[in-house]
A and B are shown apart, each in its own frame.
Chain A
């Protein structure tokens, strides 16, 4: 089985910060907006390099989205930054009308997504954002797996014309994507080839899926692992090619089961290749305060949960 070297440990939000700086150096039309969370979003470097292209909007997220939409008129490429909760649920209607329906080239960049925000608790731990964003016509939804991939995705979306939701997080996690990897929007990464079960994951759950595949291998189970960094447009071919081979699937995400990656995969399989599917996701409940790793265990988003889900999915194959 393919082994992955840990290249370091960093938070994905820092990948966004570095990517934004590089995108800004490459393209003078890139501008940044932030709603009083510059440090949390790691936007300092961009702000310091391009003060005239950076806009502190204060604690006013609705206005930030509206400003960003307006700034596209005349050719700017706005990147908005705040927590995932305030990037989506708080401003859904502004995104819907001024960005998605109006087809504006706005990049909505969201940190501190999911349970791994930790101690702040459920008010800030949004688990519905992927669902809300993937329901919007014209919206591209990207959930990169580690620091390097978040940096690469940030630079890729600057070159992509159209609204994008980019979701990343706060905790320090292993880096395994090569620094020179080519990030292609809508093209899944096949990380590990296997024959018994397909594991499709996004974000922080990708590394846990790699760990799960290693544990499954010790039990004699051959798991295929796919990093589905783009939830929309979904790489249907990658899903079908894999599940046609393995005949069952596990989806893993730091998100509500309703509306997330798992549901998107289910839609593809239900229509084209029905197969047993197990979900590693939060099941219709809010989160709570705690350490990120404690929460991932309590809410069933840990490596062992992926291993068990894989075994269950395999058992369900008739």
Chain B
């Protein structure tokens, strides 16, 4: 998909996000908006996948694991817009008897979701496991994961990072959503992540960086990452984003991490986001 079309999808995804969380007065708009461009590029430009015939095993398809499950709104929107399930279903988000749980679940059988997430720090292990199985199966497709920066405070992430490098798991591309914010404030104040790039390098990973709101740059970096797979090292992309990107009053603060806009605030947000593909 071309740049202009990707931008159009991302704008619609952002409208979906704010409408979803406002519709149930709960959910996590900040990080969702911040990752709208990335997930749009991943699903509409990068990944080899099969939205029409979702299979849990995902053989010969690229796989994606959302480790920071609280940004489910952006993932659900991208999955629906990519054709995994009807866009009307986005209106059921977080409601009783819905498949679209607050955090992604497998037992509700959401097409596109292969692992529950929500309790943080587990998705890198899951992705590496799936990557190991791809190697055993002689399957040359890739595994992508996405993590919050605050999530890197969980120890399991570093267990997984150590494992992947030591065992040359070189068919995985992990991305860190570096927005510098978490529920209680800036990551710098809550628990500083220090020099992230140096940490991942010291753990034996290839480290790339990109601007998570520059679609051209993301395509170039993701293509570069793909070209670096199969060379004995796992790859991580540190992606700089702005929490709440696209809605002016949500940007520049952690306060919209997990708060939904009311009806009036929703209207202000929607006025800033072009309806490109039609609301659900």
The reply on B106 being an interface residue by CB < 8 A is: yes
In the complex, are the beta carbons of A75 and B115 less than 8 A apart? no
The residue that A98 contacts in the complex, of B115, B136, B167, with Cβ under 8 A, is B115
Q: How far is B65's CA from A31's CA once the two chains are assembled, in angstroms?
A: 22
Bound complex: CA A98 to CA B163 (Å)? 18
Interface-lining segment among B127-135, B191-199, B220-228: B127-135
Interface residues of A (CB under 8 A from B): 31, 52-53, 55, 57-58, 60, 62-63, 65-76, 78, 93-94, 96-98, 101-104, 138
Interface residues of B in 91-145 (CB under 8 A from A): 105-107, 114-119, 121-134, 136-137, 139
Q: Tell which of A57, A65, A73 touches B114, judged by Cβ atoms closer than 8 Å.
A: A73
Beyond contacts A55-B132, A102-B105: 8 other A-B pairs, Cβ-Cβ < 8 A, are A63-B160, A63-B163, A71-B132, A72-B129, A73-B129, A102-B107, A102-B115, A103-B106
Q: Known contacts A60-B159, A60-B163, A63-B159; decide if A74 and B134 are in contact (CB<8 Å).
A: yes
Q: Which stretch from B30-38, B40-48, B55-63, B256-264 is at the chain A interface?
A: B55-63
Q: Which residue of B lies closest to A96 (CB)?
A: B119
Q: Which single residue of chain A is at the shortest CB-CB distance from B115?
A: A102
For residue B162, CB closer than 8 A to chain A, the reply is yes
Query: Does residue B155 face the partner (Cβ distance < 8 Å to A)?
Result: yes
Contacting residues, chain B, for A31 (C-beta < 8 A): 136
Collect the chain A residues with CB atoms within 8 Å of residue B65's CB: 70
Mark B155-166 against chain A: 1 for CB-CB distance below 8 A, else 0: 110011011001
Q: Which of A69, A70, A74 contacts B139 (CB 8 A)?
A: A74
Considering the complex, give the chain B residue whose CB is closest to the CB of A53: B136
Q: How far is the CA of A68 from the CA of B132 in the complex (A)?
A: 10
Docked CA distance A52–B122 (Å): 24
Given A74-B134, A94-B156, CB of A101 within 8 Å of CB of B106:
yes
Taking CB atoms, residues of chain A closer than 8 Å to B156 are 62-63, 66, 94
Is A70's CB under 8 angstroms from B137's CB?
Answer: no
**24 pairs, CB–CB < 8 Å, chain A vs chain B:** A31-B136, A53-B136, A63-B159, A63-B163, A66-B124, A66-B129, A69-B125, A70-B65, A70-B126, A71-B130, A71-B133, A73-B57, A73-B58, A73-B130, A75-B133, A76-B136, A94-B122, A98-B116, A98-B122, A101-B106, A101-B107, A102-B105, A103-B106, A138-B107
B128-A67 in contact (CB<8A)? yes
Which residues of B lie under 8 Å from residue A57 when comparing CB positions? 163
Query: How far is it, in angstroms, between the C-alpha of A163 and the C-alpha of B56 when the chains are bound?
Result: 16
**Is there contact, CB below 8 Å, between B118 and A62?**
no
Contacts of A74 in B (CB 8 A): 57-59, 130, 133-134, 136-137, 139
A103 in contact with B129 (CB, 8 Å): no
Chain A hits for B107, CB < 8 A: 101-103, 138
Residue of A nearest to B126 (CB): A70
List the B side residues contacting A72 at CB < 8 Å.
129, 133
Q: Which residue of A lies closest to B118 (CB)?
A: A97
A298–B35 CA distance with the chains assembled, in angstroms: 59
Nearest chain A CB to B264's CB is how many angstroms away? 36
Q: Do A52 and B136 contact each other (CB < 8 Å), given the known contacts A63-B159, A70-B129, A74-B57? A: yes
With A58-B163, A75-B133: A70-B128 Cβ-Cβ less than 8 Å: yes
Quote the shortest CB–CB distance from A228 to chain B (angstroms): 28
Count of chain B residues with a beta carbon within 8 Å of a chain A beta carbon: 40
Please name all residues of chain B whose beta carbon is closer than 8 Å to the beta carbon of A98 when the two chains form the complex: 115-116, 122, 125-126
Q: Are B116 and A67 in contact (CB under 8 A)?
A: no
Closest residue on chain A to residue B114 by CB atoms: A73
Q: Which residues of A contact B58 (CB under 8 A)?
A: 73-74
Q: Do residues A102 and B132 form an inter-chain contact, with CB atoms below 8 A?
A: no
Q: Which of B56, B122, B131 contacts A66 (CB 8 A)?
A: B122
Q: Flag if A102 contacts B130 (CB, 8 Å).
A: no
Set B125, B131, B136, B139: member contacting A63, Cβ < 8 A: B125
Report the bound CA distance from A31 to B133 in whole Å: 10
Alpha-carbon separation in the docked complex, A93 to B56 (Å): 22
Give Cα A74 to B107, complex, Å: 18
- Which residue in chain B gives the minimum CB-CB distance to A66? B125
B130 touches A97 (CB 8 A): no
Q: Is the CB of A75 within 8 A of B57?
A: yes
Query: Given A31-B136, A66-B160, are A97 and B119 also a contact pair (CB < 8 Å)?
Result: yes
Cross-chain contact A67 with B119 (CB below 8 angstroms)? no
The 7 tightest CB contacts between A and B, nearest first, are A70-B129, A66-B125, A74-B133, A63-B159, A60-B159, A67-B129, A70-B126
Q: Decide yes or no: A93 and B119 within 8 Å by CB, A52-B136, A63-B156, A75-B137 being known contacts.
A: yes
**Smallest CB separation, B111 vs chain A (Å):** 14
- Asked whether, in the complex, the Cβ of B163 is within 8 Å of the Cβ of A73, the reply is no
Q: With contacts A63-B156, A73-B58, A75-B57 known, is A97 near B122, CB below 8 A? A: yes
**Cβ-closest chain A residue relative to B124:** A66
Pairwise interchain contact A71-B129, C-beta atoms closer than 8 A:
yes
Point out the residue from B125, B133, B139, B163 that lies within 8 Å of A65, measured CB to CB: B125
A94-B156, A98-B116 known; A62 vs B125 contact (CB < 8 Å):
yes
> How distant is A82 from chain B, measured CB to nearest CB, in Å?
13
For B56, the chain A residues whose CB sits under 8 A away are 73
A69→B159 contact, CB < 8 A: no
Q: Which residues of B contact A67 (CB under 8 A)?
A: 125-126, 128-129, 132, 160, 163
Chain B residues whose C-beta falls within 8 Å of the C-beta of A97 in the assembled complex: 116-119, 122
Looking at the assembled complex, report how far the CB atom of A65 sits from the nearest CB atom of chain B, in whole angstroms: 7
User: A97 vs B63: C-alpha distance in the bound complex, in angstroms?
Assistant: 19
Select B130's contact among A53, A65, A70, A96, beta carbons within 8 Å.
Answer: A70
